[in-house]
Structure formats: C-alpha cells, structure tokens
Amino acid sequence: MKCLVTGATGYIGGRLVPELLDAGHEVRCMVRSAGRLRDQPWAGRVEAVQADAADADGTRKALDGVDVAYYLIHTMGGGKDFAASDRRAAATFAAAAGDAGVRRVVYLGGLAPKEGLSPHLRSRAEVGQIFLDSGVPAVVLRAAVIIGSGSASFEMLRHLTERLPVMTTPRWVRTRTQPIAIRDVLRYLVGWATVEQEVNRSFDIGGPDVLTYAGMMHVYASVAGLPRRLIIQVPPLSPGLSSHWVGLVTPVPASIARPLVESLRNEAVCHEHDVARYVPDPPEGLIGFGDSVALALQRIKEAKVVTRWSSASTPGAPSDPLPTDPDWAGGSLYVDSRARRVKASPGALWTVIESIGGERGWYSLPVAWRARGILDRLVGGVGLRRGRRDQRHLRVGDSVDFWRVEEVEPGRLLRLRAEMRLPGLAWLELSVEHDQDGTLYRQRAVFHPRGLAGHLYWWSISPFHSLIFGRMPRNVAAAAEAETMPESMPESMPEGPLREIRPAR
C-alpha cells in the first residue's frame, strides 16, 4: 500500500512512518522542508516531497498515486486565525485527495463532546468534518490524552507530578478523561492502511481506564515511586492562568499548554468502541494507563525517546536559513565570532559540542542563560526547559532548549537557529577545525535585526556578550580537554580566545 504521511516531522508522524515501513507499506512524506527529514533513521526508506497543505498544486502532486493519506497537521499555540488556517489547509488537502483518487484519508482528531468545546478542539472537529464531507472516504480517529515518552501531554503530567508534591489546582483536574497509549494510537493508524471496506465515519479511541487528571497524577506518582501527591482544588483558576502556571512548572510553554489545558475542561470519554470491528484489539488487550506510564518512563531512562512534542516547529518561530554569503546583501547582520585552540582531539571537542544544552548547559555563565530563558517564557516563548530529545546525539530538526538544529555535519559543524522571541533572526554556529597546529574551536553568533527594535536589541545586549558567549570557548575547550589528552597533541599551544566582532553593515 502506498501511504502519504503529513506532519512527519511532528510527534505522531515521526513515529508513524517507521511503523508503516515495518508493516511493509511504501511511504511518501509531505513536509514543508525536506531537509528536516535528512537525519531521521528511516530517511533513506521514504520518498520526501516538499509541499504545504494549503498549496493546492503542491499537495495534488504529493498525493499522486497514493492509496492512503494520513493527515496529522494541527496548529498548536497559533494566533487568532489558526482555526481559519486549519480549515483552509484541510479543505485544500481534501480536494487534492479527491482529484488524485486517494482511497482513504485518515485523520487524528480530539475526543470531546459536541457542545462547549475549546477553540482548538472545535477546530479539530471542524477539520474532521471537512474530511467526512469531502467525498473521499475518511476515517477520523478521536483521541483524548496521548501517553508516550516525549508527548506534550505526558511531559506536562510528568513534570507537574514530579515537581509539585503539594499543589493547588483548577477544576479541570476533576474532569474525567480516557487516556490512550501512543502504541495503541499507532496500531490504529497503521491498521487502517489495510482495511478493505469503504468506511466514512469517526471513531472514539481510548485506553481501558477512565480517570480524572488528579487520578492520573496519583497513578503517575505511584508508578514513578513518588509519595502520594496532595491536590487542593482552587476553582477560580482559569485556563489562561492555568496555562501560565503549567508553563512555569513544566517544559511545555504556555502557548502549547493552553490548548491542552482548555481541552481538559471537557469530559473526554469514549462512547463507542466500533473501531475494534475494523482494527481488532490485540489478544493481550489495550495498554492500561499505569502500563503506558511505565513504558514511557522506561524509554526516557534508556534514552530512546524517538520523537518529542517539540519535534514540530514552534508556532511563530523563524524558518529562514542562515545567509551563507559573508557579504550578504539582504540586510544588516551582526556577527560575534570567537575561536580558541584546544588541547584535545577533534573527536573529543565534537563530543562536547554535540552534547551542548539540556542537562549539560551552555558552558557559560548559567545565571545569564537562565535569566534569558525566564525572560523568553515571560513573553510567551519556549524558554530553556524544552531540553533535548537525546543528550548525546543531534539530528536536523531537533530542539535544544530555545534553539532548533538547522544543520549538523558530524565531527565538524553544528548550526542552531533561535526559536526564542526576538526582534529578528538569530543563529549560533559551533565548529571544529584541525590543522597542523592542532584542534581549533570556532564559535559564531549571527543576528539579523528586524527594524529599529532589532538594532536596539543587539546593542542593548552587546555588553553581556562577554558573559554569555565570551566564556563559552574557554569552558568548551576545558570540557574537551577533560575528555581526552592524546599524546600527539602539541605540548604548547597558543592560549586565549581569538575574537572578532563585526557590526552591522
């Protein structure tokens, strides 16, 4: 079966693709930036097509020859017009699927009642209905909280429970929901690729347990070996205030937490299990909530988190590539360049560079980085607490705190693009060079200001560069030297950083 997967750089899509491949299907991925798939372990087994779901011509070409199309696109934390954008994209995709003769569209939506929906759940319901009314047979799977290592819902639950032994909570912690393990979600998605009957309807999917959010926190604490949590309900906390509270306590920023919190106001319990007539339950049954938590924690412990909620691009984050022309004529660029000789092997230096951020930090003044992360969260950004998917290895598209990996050349170059809230675009490049004099560490921070605010921002933070960027070469070098001290390394090397700062042109 030939399958098209949209959202392949996201949490669900990034896990669905290898499951479809392992089931023997041919997979084509439709992404806005094909380069984001380059470092995926399954990249060589799929066809990548670059297109936007709102682009009719590009989408039509991507769907050519496809039997089953998976639509896994939904705006999280978008602006006021996110619902209209979602409707346009879904309508465009549905029309293109009809023109291409697609046999089935599979959409993963949200489980909720018909009335009193939050804006994001309402949007998901609208998108599902667009596919059901399109004329192309569609299967809309409606899920509530998805539990798996790296999912936004799981990370929110995990950090709230672990960090707050006593907590005051809003009313939504008493709302019933029916969580489902990511493994069961993927099993349903893959199963629909081979169902022969023509089906056009929605299905509720959920695990075997119905719990309140407070109940999920208690179960999580038990599975994780934590003391029972004390939960005190405070009704006045609104979803807006709750999302900011979640943003302060967990790695999930308020912009992403808000739609999750708003959806928890609605009871999300399955009213039917008809999906089992087409994709039968496994002999051992669906995965219970406690088991799904245990599986997720085990994956985290083993550092086998395949995708995370932050795998998808952050709404509103810049996507422009770094200008490579040193005499770029597209506008002003500020560049802070530094370099340092390192008494270590290139491999040891690269090991330090590739493990930067997350638990390791930024080899600079920690308080300065923490302050920048807090400031970013206060203005609605992602801050530093996103961390990393894998503490030792990076691939294009990974998030590293408030950066996104734009380029990785193993052993040589790491380029990060800023996703913090800025009046401009920013990148940080860390590279390794090796010549007759030994190993050289190079570091380059690049900023492209937008308007007067961008220029003022650069000059206002310039005095802090020596605190933030100035200490990095010395500390990175020290960490690399601690990794190894090869006998072939020269005894005497030039000490001190080599520095060049270029102002705007």
For residue 492, pLDDT beyond 70:
no
CA distance to 78, 329, 424, per residue, from 316 (Å): 8, 25, 12
Taking residues 171-195, what's their average pLDDT? 91
Q: Against a cut of 0.75, is the pTM above it?
A: no
Choice between 387 and 143, residue whose per-residue pLDDT is larger? 143
Please report the pLDDT score of residue 2 as a whole number: 96
Mean residue pLDDT of the chain comes to 83
Q: The sheet that has 68-71: what strands, in order across it?
A: 47-50, 26-31, 2-6, 68-71, 104-110, 138-143, 201-205
Question: Lowest mean pLDDT: which of 45-49, 111-115, 180-184?
Answer: 111-115
pLDDT tens per residue, range 229-265? 887 776 665 556 666 666 666 666 666 666 676 677 7
Say how far apart CA 307 and CA 107 lie, in whole Å: 19
For residue 364, pLDDT beyond 90:
no
Taking residues 404-429, what's their average pLDDT? 90
Say how far apart CA 68 and CA 137 lie, in whole Å: 10
Query: Has domain 334-502 been given CATH number 1.10.40.30?
Result: no
**Neighbour tally for 286: CB within 10 Å:** 20
Please report the pLDDT score of residue 65 as a whole number: 95
Residue 379 DSSP label: T
Domain boundaries, the chain: 2-311, 334-502
For residue 77, pLDDT beyond 60:
no
- Homologous superfamily (CATH) for 2-311: NAD(P)-binding Rossmann-like Domain (3.40.50.720)
Question: Lowest mean pLDDT: which of 124-133, 316-325, 345-354, 413-422?
Answer: 316-325
Categorize the per-residue pLDDT at 388 as very low, low, confident or very high, splitting at 50, 70 and 90: confident
**Cβ atoms of 486 and 345 closer than 8 Å:** yes
CA distance to 11, 29, 389, per residue, from 44 (Å): 19, 12, 21
Taking residues 3-30, what's their average pLDDT? 93
CA torsion, ordered 12, 18, 20, 22, to nearest 10 deg: -150
Taking residues 4-9, what's their average pLDDT? 91
- Percent with pLDDT over 90 in the chain: 41
Residues ≥6 apart with Cβ < 8 Å to 84? none
Question: Lowest mean pLDDT: which of 23-32, 59-68, 310-319, 476-485?
Answer: 310-319
Axis-axis angle for helices 254-263, 119-132 (nearest 10): 70
pLDDT tens per residue, range 389-413? 888 889 888 888 888 898 889 999 9
For residue 417, pLDDT beyond 70:
yes
For residue 297, pLDDT beyond 50:
yes
Please report the pLDDT score of residue 484 as a whole number: 66
Please report the pLDDT score of residue 191 as a whole number: 96
Categorize the per-residue pLDDT at 323 as very low, low, confident or very high, splitting at 50, 70 and 90: very low
Per-residue buried b or exposed e for 437-474, using 16+ beta carbons within 10 Å of the residue's own CB: ebbbbbbbbbbbbeeeebbebbeeeeeeeeebbbbbbb
Please report the pLDDT score of residue 501 as a whole number: 41
Taking residues 98-125, what's their average pLDDT? 87
Please report the pLDDT score of residue 485 as a whole number: 53
Please report the pLDDT score of residue 103 as a whole number: 96
For residue 177, pLDDT beyond 70:
yes
Categorize the per-residue pLDDT at 422 as very low, low, confident or very high, splitting at 50, 70 and 90: confident
Question: Lowest mean pLDDT: which of 117-121, 178-182, 224-228?
Answer: 117-121
**Cβ atoms of 217 and 180 closer than 8 Å:** no
Residues ≥6 apart with Cβ < 8 Å to 133? none
